[in-house]
Amino acid sequence: MHLHHDPSAPPAEETDFGTFLKSDIRIGTVVEALEFPEARKPAYILHIDFGPAIGTRKSSAQITVNYTREDLVGRQVAAVVNFPPRQIGPIKSEVLTIGFADEAGEVVLFAPDRPVPNGSRLF
């Protein structure tokens, strides 16, 4: 999967609503943000609480340029929760935390503009 960070890139190929719904994107609250020195690119290991149905899941996130670990704890973030886990060095990244590229191509996290219950699904 190639991700386009270039804002001038054309739209992705056309899809339909059913395909969109296959991606389960939920809100969770970061409960812990750890250094990840073994990562090839600078990253944190996030522990994110997605509420009682999903629980707390881990995510490796390359967000060290725009966020400190202290910035992240207590912050709500959006993540795809139904991709298979990916082994990244010594950890299994269980969800894909999502964001957008800033002018420098660095990640800015995607989150609701007011608090919502952990586990809320994007629709």
- What are the tokens at 71? 């910035």
The answer to whether position 17 is within a domain reads no
0.85 exceeded by pTM:
yes
pLDDT in tens, 1-43: 335 567 778 888 898 988 888 999 999 999 999 999 998 899 9
The answer to whether position 99 is within a domain reads yes
pLDDT in tens, 109-123: 999 999 999 999 998
Q: Which ranges of 1-123 would DSSP assign to H, the alpha helix?
A: 17-21, 69-72
The whole-angstrom separation of Cα 68 and Cα 62 is 11
Q: Where are the beta strands (DSSP E) in 44-104?
A: 44-49, 56-61, 76-80, 86-88, 91-93, 96-97, 99-101
The answer to whether position 122 is within a domain reads no
The answer to whether position 14 is within a domain reads no
The answer to whether position 75 is within a domain reads yes
The answer to whether position 93 is within a domain reads yes
Question: Strand, coil or helix: what is 118?
Answer: coil
**Phi and psi at residue 50, in whole multiples of 5°?**
-100, 20
Task: Tell me how many domains the chain contains.
Answer: 1
The answer to whether position 114 is within a domain reads no
The answer to whether position 82 is within a domain reads yes
Question: What's the average model confidence in pLDDT over 56-80?
Answer: 97
Domain carrying residue 42: 27-109
CATH code for position 59: 2.40.50.140
